[in-house]
C-alpha cells in the first residue's frame, strides 16, 4: 500500500535564481506569497574547503590553477560556461555573441562585477537623440524611485556629482584611493579631466542592521 501525501501548493514559481529571479522572489515573498524557486545548478559554498579557491595561491592547486572542467580553471567559482550541453542557445546568423551562463544558486550574480550605474534621461530616449533603435515608453523619472530603493537595499558607494546624464543616488562613502589611483588623479587634475569614484555595490559601512562591511 502506497500513501501519497498532498504536494505543496505554491502561489508562484520562479525559474532561475539570478538577479531577476532573486528580486522577483523577494518581492513576491515580502507580499506574503508562498514562492518556489527552481534552479538548474547546485549551491557553491565559498566556506567549503573543497570549493574555497578565491583566496589560494596557484601552487596550492594540483594543476597550478589549470582546470579540467571549468572554463577559467581551478579558481573559477562557477558551475557553467560559454557552452552548456542541452542549453537552447543560438547565435544570430552572421554574428557571434557569447554569453557566460552560471547554472548555480544565484546565477551570474555570483560573478557580477558590482558596477551599479543608473540609466540617465538620455539613455531612455536615444532614438530622439541619434535616430537609432527606439525610445523607451518610460522615462528616467518613472524608474528613479526604484533605483533609489535598490541603492538603499543593496548598498552602493559613490559620490553625488550633479551630472545630468549620470544621475545621483543614495551612496555610501567610497573607499580611499589606492596608490596608483592617486597618481592618475593627480595627472588628470593637471589635464583638467575630472575623476570620480566608481559606483559599486560594495559595503563601506554597515547597512540595514544586518550587513557588515566588505573586506
Instruction: Look at the chain and report how many structural domains it folds into.
Output: 1
Rounded Cα distance between 79 and 85, Å, is 13
Domain-located, residue 6: no
Q: What is the pLDDT of residues 3-46, one digit of tens each?
A: 777 788 999 999 999 999 999 999 999 999 999 999 988 888 87
Residue 1 pLDDT grade (very low, low, confident, very high; cuts 50, 70, 90):
low
Residue 74 banded pLDDT, cuts 50, 70, 90: low
Please report whether residue 109 resides in a domain: no
Q: By residue range, what is the domain housing residue 144? A: 116-215
Does 26 map to a domain? no
Measured from the Cβ of residue 102, the count of other Cβ atoms closer than 10 Å reads 23
Residue 58 lies in a domain: no
Q: For the chain, what is the mean pLDDT?
A: 88
Q: Which residues contact 112 (CB under 8 A, 6 or more apart)?
A: 19
Rounded to whole angstroms, how far apart are CA atoms 162 and 173? Answer: 16
Residue 209 lies in a domain: yes
Whole-angstrom Cα distance, residue 18 to residue 107? 4
DSSP secondary structure letter of residue 50: T
Domain contains 208: yes
Mean pLDDT, rounded, for 42-70: 72
Segment 9-18 long-range contacts (CB within 8 Å, at least 24 positions apart) = 9/34, 10/34, 10/35, 10/36, 11/35, 12/36, 13/37, 13/38, 14/38, 16/40, 16/107, 17/105, 17/106, 17/107, 18/102, 18/106, 18/107, 18/108, 18/109
| HSE (side-chain half, CA atoms, 13 Å) at 91 | 9
The answer to whether residue 169 sits within a structural domain is yes
End-to-end CA distance of the chain: 57
Do 145 and 177 contact (CB within 8 A), yes or no? no
pLDDT at 206 over 80: yes
Residue 203 lies in a domain: yes
Flag whether the pTM goes above 0.95: no
Query: What is the Cα 138 distance to its own chain's centre?
Result: 23
In 3-state terms, what secondary structure has residue 80? strand
Amino acid at each position: 500500500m502506497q500513501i501519497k501525501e498532498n504536494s505543496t501548493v505554491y502561489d508562484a514559481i520562479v525559474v532561475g535564481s539570478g538577479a531577476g529571479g532573486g528580486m522577483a522572489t523577494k518581492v513576491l515573498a515580502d507580499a506574503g506569497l508562498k514562492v518556489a524557486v527552481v534552479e538548474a545548478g547546485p549551491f557553491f559554498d565559498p566556506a567549503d574547503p573543497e570549493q574555497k579557491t578565491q583566496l589560494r595561491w596557484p601552487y596550492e592547486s594540483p594543476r597550478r590553477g589549470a582546470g579540467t572542467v571549468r572554463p577559467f580553471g581551478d579558481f573559477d567559482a562557477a558551475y557553467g560556461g560559454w557552452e552548456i550541453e542541452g542549453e537552447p542557445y543560438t547565435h544570430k546568423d552572421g554574428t557571434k555573441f557569447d554569453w557566460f551562463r552560471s547554472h548555480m544558486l544565484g546565477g551570474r550574480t555570483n560573478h557580477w562585477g558590482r558596477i551599479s550605474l543608473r540609466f540617465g534621461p538620455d539613455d531612455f530616449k536615444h532614438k530622439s537623440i541619434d535616430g537609432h533603435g527606439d525610445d523607451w515608453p518610460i522615462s528616467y523619472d518613472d524608474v528613479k524611485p526604484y533605483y533609489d530603493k535598490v541603492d538603499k537595499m543593496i548598498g552602493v558607494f559613490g559620490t553625488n556629482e550633479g551630472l545630468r546624464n549620470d544621475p545621483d543616488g543614495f551612496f555610501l562613502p567610497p573607499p580611499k584611493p589606492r596608490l596608483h589611483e592617486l597618481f592618475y588623479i593627480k595627472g588628470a587634475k593637471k589635464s583638467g579631466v575630472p575623476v570620480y569614484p566608481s559606483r559599486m555595490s560594495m559595503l563601506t559601512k554597515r547597512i540595514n542592521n544586518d550587513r557588515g562591511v566588505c573586506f
